[in-house]
Amino acid sequence: MQLTFCCTHTAAEPWLAGLRAALPEAEVSLWAPGAPLADHAIVWAPPQAFIDEQTRLQTLFNIGAGVDGLLKLRLPPGLQVVRLDDAGMAVQMAEYVCHAVIRHFREFEQYDAAQREARWAFRKPRRREDFSVGLLGLGVLGSRAAQALRAFEFPVLGWSRGPKALDGVRCHHGPDGLHDFLAGTQVLVNLLPLTLETENLLNRDTLGRLRPGAHVINVARGAHLVDDDLLALLDRGHLAGATLDVSRTEPLPPEHPFWHHPRVTVTPHTAARTLRDESIAQIAGKLRALQRGEPIAGVVDPQRGY
């Protein structure tokens, strides 16, 4: 079995060493233009030239959960795309989301400001039952975040494409379920894949339907959010704050108003990082399952876009 590795913005050597150790039966190499043809590839943001040259590939293993970048390439029909399924990301995402929700709920920004002024100032406790958290997307990451938020007893709502039943979560689905979901949400957490259906979904109309004083946490993709609509709703006071891990252009350009907005927190696309050892173990397990002719999880449906 020939494996090729083509991941931009990733140090290749530790991955190659890990893949060789996990799959001693495979020949693992780093792709360069003109490299011999491989059977399967481990990829992140590969160039179109890689796809065009590697005509024998059966599977692309994406070393991330989101495949929006990969699906923008011209992929031959029949080339299977496999995403990372958790591989240590879900707990990181749950941590990030809980941290952001609790920071807003317990008003830590206000305590930080009070400390800067050496001011010992209590704030009135808020009612947890008023602080409902709505998760857009109840997949691998959204359902784990829902479970973690439930442990803190926040009311949790969710929205998915098809119907879902999750313990303790008020589940909505499809376009018909969106308005009720938004109307019941105090903190909106976006964990949708970026597809033709979900691009620009966080806009003036949808964000305007959140409860007054709502917060927005975008941990999915920058292109889900219409930046100017968010800024207008923050400045008008309808939204109380936003935590943005992702942006339309990454890195977020220095002149972008999000950097200095007093009610926007920016982090550098770090909510749930790819963990090398866990990812290699998962890919090796899936490759062996494929060799045995068994089905694997995480196969992307190119029609749906995730």
Residues that bind ligand GLV (CB under 6 A): 64-66, 274
Is 221 a known active-site residue? yes
* Nearest distance in Å: CB 270, ligand NAP: 6
Residue 166 CA to residue 36 CA, distance in Å, equals: 47
Q: Which of 274/282 has CB closer to ligand GLV?
A: 274
Catalytic residue among 144, 161, 221, 224: 221
Closest CA relative to residue 18, chosen from 291, 296, 280: 280
Residue pair 17/5 in contact by the 8 Å Cβ criterion:
no
Residue 79 CA to residue 51 CA, distance in Å, equals: 10
- Find the residue with minimal CB distance to ligand NAP: 139
Paired tokens of 54: 């590697």
Q: Three-state DSSP class for 264? A: strand
Q: Which does 155 bind (CB under 5 to 8 A by kind): ligand GLV, ligand NAP, none?
A: none
* Nearest distance in Å: CB 177, ligand GLV: 25
Residue 292 CA to residue 152 CA, distance in Å, equals: 43
Q: Which does 31 bind (CB under 5 to 8 A by kind): ligand GLV, ligand NAP, none?
A: none
Residues that bind ligand NAP (CB under 6 A): 65-66, 89, 137-142, 159-162, 191-195, 197-198, 219-221, 245-246, 269, 271-272, 306
Residue 238 CA to residue 213 CA, distance in Å, equals: 5
Polymer length in residues for the chain: 306
Q: Which of 4/160 has CB closer to ligand NAP?
A: 160
Catalytic residue among 269, 276, 292, 304: 269
Q: Which of 142/241 has CB closer to ligand NAP?
A: 142
* Nearest distance in Å: CB 22, ligand GLV: 20
Kind and range of the H or E element at 101? helix 89-105
Q: Residue type for 81, please? A: V
Q: Three-state DSSP class for 183? A: helix
Beta bridge partners of residue 162, listed in sequence order: none
Side-by-side strand order, sheet with 264-266:
169-173, 156-160, 133-136, 187-190, 214-218, 239-244, 264-266
* Nearest distance in Å: CB 81, ligand GLV: 13
* Nearest distance in Å: CB 238, ligand GLV: 28
DSSP 266: E
C-alpha dihedral (292, 293, 297, 302), degrees to nearest 10:
140
Q: Which of 66/137 has CB closer to ligand GLV?
A: 66
Q: Which does 139 bind (CB under 5 to 8 A by kind): ligand GLV, ligand NAP, none?
A: ligand NAP
Q: Which does 241 bind (CB under 5 to 8 A by kind): ligand GLV, ligand NAP, none?
A: none
Q: Which does 22 bind (CB under 5 to 8 A by kind): ligand NAP, ligand GLV, none?
A: none
- Tell me which residues are annotated as active site: 221, 269
